[in-house]
Structure 1
């Protein structure tokens, strides 16, 4: 199982994707951490002034019947600028070592290679002993694979010692933060067993490594405490450390241990590790109070007991985690596959066919967009409010005729209601948002004055048609502006929808170039269609301004009669309110002009009976107004009715024709010849078409990089899953 986890931790597999079981050795500077690791691994680590361990060192120990061997590798998870690599890489650092005395120098050189990322690593295999470093610490690490007859099956990683101060070390404050961050990245993982080293020569409360461990493992479930340097405890203070061994103080689930390693002087004198173990046994057997501990606590003393316990803990953790790892791997594989599915499909080996397919699919979706989609955010739905506004703006240009003489009064003139018969028309809406100041009332005496001024050789009572034309020209002249506004709004809205469609189809190809070129071509084409549409709108407006024509004679005559009756009724109500009220009370007509008076209304029945008695039978109540004297404003009433009736005919015509022209020439027009335009503009059918398509079919660097990263991650996850299945997990 340990071999399996070691294979999974190999860069290229899943050590960056899955939380794998491992032991991390941490401690403050000079806590005896290096000596402990030397005692466990049987090798000598570099020792120099200042900080010795400046990058993590992974030790993979495995028992073997073959001669002792050590392989050194450099494992990079960041590049020379410190940026995390998408795919970690491994580099062998020299040939395998068969002599233990050569390991220390190889590790020192390997560390220098890691701390100088801008230089080739092979240079450090043969260079002298000059100490130089471009960076103080690194997350890249050294991996040692050690095997031999006397080697225990165990794997752990040695982390740089936590720095309390840089004032006397020649470093800087960033080193403190960087080392703590590096240690945290390991011990914060739930599957990391923390091997905490605490030097007995320093007060327990002053050792930062313990505080950091408590932060990430507050219940002490995955921490193993190791007391080092017990021979340096001041005489008489030994008893203060025994509560830890008894697990009575700072309780840990896996207890505290105590070990004694050879001093630097012993190592310089060439002490062997067998001799060091023997001296350690003698120390704990003969030195009180360690020798006086109960037998049940003796098992927490000596390096050999610690190694046995570490092997047992790591074995148990791996046994528990492997089934969970398999589940996590399958979940990670599924998420990675889903992420790949969300990416655009990779470029085809047939770039011409690929680009042609892209263009055809785009044009097909463009036609669907232009024809209309059943969504609230569709193109036609987005245009509709602008069309409704255009219709209201055109209807708002209707001349505001008043069948009354102009009264010079201060302030705005009172409004004159629209005829009730207009409310029965389909699509009629009150123009509530129009400023009353925008419409200038035209009073009946003003109409008559214009008619009188226009007379030339006409007989009395006759007025030239130029009077009606002048009023009609005034409102048709106001139609060009709202028509062009509608065209610009539709142009802008159409461009937004088409750009979104272009991005959807082309953003992942041509390294952004294809999307950009298609956007430019489509923008130019839509601009041409918009110019043609504006020209057509100008012609339609010119038709309305240039001459008055309608073949809808019945429609025009019907409206004239209605407006003439409406204007006359309003005028008669104002001039003869008593008679109008009496007629309305006798037989209410369709108009709502009422006269309110405290006086009693005349009896229309008696009036009609009186007229019948003198031979004027068959007269209706509404005919009584004909008995009144002729109104000198009758010619003006006819002119007003003519103009207002023609407005209804022309307004409905232009309210349909302008949107129809925009839809035909601009909206639907964009779909005409779009495919040939793109083929020609992109040069696909040119002699250079093959080369152009190859360039355009390339993925953008971001998508290509993401695809490559996901594919590599999927490969290592599937490889790891196969490893687990192969061993029957």
Structure 2
């Protein structure tokens, strides 16, 4: 079962390979990514794990594409050897080698070991030198021979009785200084490529670090720390342990006392350049490695936890455990990604097979249906995060406009002196005995005029919301498919809305003009004049005070209207024009003068003026509240009738008239190049994800 799980991941890697590695893949697979500087011995570690020389060597950047190395344990065809290998899969000192006497003379053509490339399906490479050559050739086919990089991985599967089933991703070695024809930003390019792989949460980071250098300065470990600062998914490999200064060792590092990692560190011994030149085989090197740790004073007690065989077993166990944890998550991600790309493909529409007329008709029909649905709250994808469509218009009607209308205060524009002046003017040359209806109507009409501005503003706000719905719909991929047709549809819609804004404003203003034209003093909700008089008198009576010197009643600084008037002067001061002409009446008639050109109501208001002013204010407030209710109810209805409902009923007909029979119809349905390319990408993704889904469902 364990090997089957790794095999599943291998198949997924092969399936997702055409999409490119790193961030290009929509699925984050559990895999071990190998990072380290060019001089860290990274390639040697991988060859030791495989037990074969197969990686390209040379100066500068040798690994220029990620190498997905899938190791498959294949039992030997020889039953005797198979029994021996069952004891230890990495026991490379087989009976064949012992009898031969010289491991270096081992034949390259071995029926039990071979490699296969994903880009060469069905072809087996038994000669590992040919594997190296094919890696170099495939790298140049993609990157050219100018030391360029490519994120597209090379998938190599190696079958051998001497390996544990394991998957490793070998990434380019970190370098700081460009060499030869390397690009000047080579360090940035390599770092960016590595980060796309190791930054994924499901990646286990295998950091290869030379033991004979300060661990704190290790390039591989520094990069791992950027994405895994706590070291929870990083395992360290210490190379060149045999090259450390005499008297020094890595015991403190292994004990986690230097830079602790969750999976710890494994020390290994690689072949040096001299060993390679002398044709020392990896199998001989592994023997020497075992002897080194067994004989070394600092490591002999922990030799079982050192060396390449232990590293391979540890990586195998880590990968298996990681896959078991992440497989359910992988299944879910594949299903979500598949659904996402299928939906996107549908939104992009099928390839051009319909006639131009059919395309235009379908787009107009789709737009109209969605437009009406959004207004009515019947859209497919209703947001749970914010209001949209018809709900926003309702908010504009009830929260913005209604609140604005009800906040209007008629008395922030009318002063008591203004009311007194209008009462004088409305009574003409004969002073009125009672509160005049004319003054009340003049004042109310002036305040009703104030509803025009917010109501016209409401029309503009609703137009903005309709345009917002238009943009919401046409921003979808299926409308972006034909950009010229989409733009023409947008222009037609905006023109239609603008044309209907004028009659909408006219009706809105007519409603307010109607309120202003006829003041319905018989309205059942209007406060009656007699009731208003009682309220005012009670209010004034409550404010009555007594002069402490004279003992007479005072009302807001003037005499009470209930007090008897003892002489003509008092009668004059309390008459309708008493306050207005009080100063003039005291002058002798023989000195009468013409009134000033501009005559204003000045002086302190009399009791009667105060009473009449307060009565009119109560009546204005009562009637203004009635008008507020009428306007807050009628204006949104008018906008619904003339703009919103009309657009729902007529927009499809208007769009058909202007677009369906357009002489530029063929130009309108030219498909966007971006849409064509995106459709191809979606189809490719769906094909790959369908294959991946089939693979994970087999578990």
Provide the TM-score with structure 1 as the length reference. Answer: 0.60
**CA 670–701 in structure 1, closer or farther in 2 if over 3 Å, else same:** farther
SS in 1 for 2:654: helix
Instruction: Select 2:546's aligned residue among 596, 604, 627.
Output: 596
The 5-angstrom pairing of residues 451-466 of structure 1 reads 451-452=428-429
Instruction: Select 2:16's aligned residue among 12, 16, 35.
Output: 12
SS in 2 for 1:166: coil
Unpaired runs of 5+ residues, structure 2, are 78-110, 351-357, 379-388, 554-560, 578-607
Maintained 8 Å contact 2:113/2:126: yes
Unpaired runs of 5+ residues, structure 1, are 74-90, 117-130, 397-433, 453-460, 570-587, 603-621
The 5-angstrom pairing of residues 430-469 of structure 1 reads 434=412, 440=418, 442=420, 451-452=428-429
Question: Which residue number corresponds to residue 573 of structure 1?
Answer: none
Instruction: Select 1:30's aligned residue among 39, 51, 60.
Output: 39
Maintained 8 Å contact 2:211/2:241: yes
Instruction: Select 1:523's aligned residue among 497, 505, 512.
Output: 497
Maintained 8 Å contact 1:194/1:224: yes
Maintained 8 Å contact 1:224/1:254: yes
Q: Report the Cα distance in structure 2 between the residues aligned to 1:197 and 1:650, rounded to whole angstroms.
A: 88
Q: Are 1:109 and 2:137 counterparts?
A: yes
1:166 CA drift (Å): 1.5
Q: Report the Cα distance in structure 2 between the residues aligned to 1:594 and 1:53, rounded to whole angstroms.
A: 101
Larger radius of gyration: 1
1:696 CA drift (Å): 9.4
Q: Report the Cα distance in structure 2 between the residues aligned to 1:366 and 1:284, rounded to whole angstroms.
A: 76
Maintained 8 Å contact 1:58/1:144: yes
Q: Report the Cα distance in structure 1 between the residues aligned to 2:566 and 2:293, rounded to whole angstroms.
A: 141
Question: Which residue number corresponds to residue 387 of structure 1?
Answer: 405
Maintained 8 Å contact 2:256/2:264: no
CA displacement 1:313-344 (0-9 Å, x = unmatched): 34323432333233212443565588689989
**CA 21–657 in structure 1, closer or farther in 2 if over 3 Å, else same:** closer
Q: Report the Cα distance in structure 2 between the residues aligned to 1:284 and 1:635, rounded to whole angstroms.
A: 121
CA displacement 1:201-258 (0-9 Å, x = unmatched): x67776544555677487798635353494xx49xx4553485899798697463222
Q: Are 1:510 and 2:479 counterparts?
A: yes
Question: Which residue number corresponds to residue 192 of structure 1?
Answer: 204
Q: Report the Cα distance in structure 2 between the residues aligned to 1:551 and 1:436, rounded to whole angstroms.
A: 20
The more displaced of 332-341 and 105-114 is 332-341
The 5-angstrom pairing of residues 620-635 of structure 1 reads none
Question: Which residue number corresponds to residue 665 of structure 1?
Answer: 638
Q: Report the Cα distance in structure 1 between the residues aligned to 2:299 and 2:545, rounded to whole angstroms.
A: 120
Maintained 8 Å contact 1:379/1:493: no
**CA 663–57 in structure 1, closer or farther in 2 if over 3 Å, else same:** closer
1:682 CA drift (Å): 1.0
CA displacement 1:157-216 (0-9 Å, x = unmatched): 3232232x417767677433443454455556565262625275x677765445556774
The 5-angstrom pairing of residues 392-411 of structure 1 reads 392-393=409-410, 396=411
The more displaced of 487-496 and 57-66 is 57-66
Maintained 8 Å contact 1:387/1:486: yes
Instruction: Select 2:248's aligned residue among 220, 240, 243.
Output: 240
1:482 CA drift (Å): 0.9
Q: Report the Cα distance in structure 1 between the residues aligned to 2:516 and 2:633, rounded to whole angstroms.
A: 16
**CA 715–676 in structure 1, closer or farther in 2 if over 3 Å, else same:** same
Question: Which residue number corresponds to residue 514 of structure 2?
Answer: 540
Question: Which residue number corresponds to residue 187 of structure 2?
Answer: 176
Q: Report the Cα distance in structure 1 between the residues aligned to 2:225 and 2:539, rounded to whole angstroms.
A: 95
**CA 533–623 in structure 1, closer or farther in 2 if over 3 Å, else same:** same
Question: Which residue number corresponds to residue 490 of structure 1?
Answer: 458
Question: Which residue number corresponds to residue 158 of structure 1?
Answer: 170
Maintained 8 Å contact 1:510/1:697: no
SS in 1 for 2:69: strand
Maintained 8 Å contact 1:684/1:690: no
Instruction: Select 1:680's aligned residue among 631, 640, 653.
Output: 653
CA displacement 1:473-530 (0-9 Å, x = unmatched): 8647735741321322321333344445545555435228378347515531541233
Maintained 8 Å contact 1:372/1:378: no
1:9 CA drift (Å): 1.9
Maintained 8 Å contact 1:196/1:224: yes
Question: Which residue number corresponds to residue 122 of structure 1?
Answer: none
1:362 CA drift (Å): 3.6
Q: Report the Cα distance in structure 2 between the residues aligned to 1:106 and 1:296, rounded to whole angstroms.
A: 43
Q: Report the Cα distance in structure 1 between the residues aligned to 2:414 and 2:431, rounded to whole angstroms.
A: 34
Question: Which residue number corresponds to residue 420 of structure 1?
Answer: none
Question: Which residue number corresponds to residue 60 of structure 2?
Answer: 50
Q: Report the Cα distance in structure 1 between the residues aligned to 2:643 and 2:113, rounded to whole angstroms.
A: 78
Q: Report the Cα distance in structure 1 between the residues aligned to 2:423 and 2:253, rounded to whole angstroms.
A: 116
**CA 591–516 in structure 1, closer or farther in 2 if over 3 Å, else same:** farther
**CA 715–707 in structure 1, closer or farther in 2 if over 3 Å, else same:** same
1:100 CA drift (Å): 3.8
Q: Report the Cα distance in structure 2 between the residues aligned to 1:34 and 1:556, rounded to whole angstroms.
A: 95
SS in 1 for 2:318: helix
Maintained 8 Å contact 2:363/2:479: no
Question: Which residue number corresponds to residue 723 of structure 1?
Answer: 695
Q: Report the Cα distance in structure 1 between the residues aligned to 2:300 and 2:571, rounded to whole angstroms.
A: 133
CA displacement 1:65-118 (0-9 Å, x = unmatched): 657654445xxxxxxxxxxxxxxxxx56997656544444432333334435xx
Maintained 8 Å contact 2:15/2:692: no
SS in 2 for 1:478: helix
Q: Are 1:326 and 2:327 counterparts?
A: yes
Q: Report the Cα distance in structure 2 between the residues aligned to 1:535 and 1:183, rounded to whole angstroms.
A: 67
**CA 485–444 in structure 1, closer or farther in 2 if over 3 Å, else same:** closer
**CA 97–359 in structure 1, closer or farther in 2 if over 3 Å, else same:** same
1:435 CA drift (Å): 6.0
Instruction: Select 1:3's aligned residue among 2, 7, 18.
Output: 7
SS in 2 for 1:440: helix
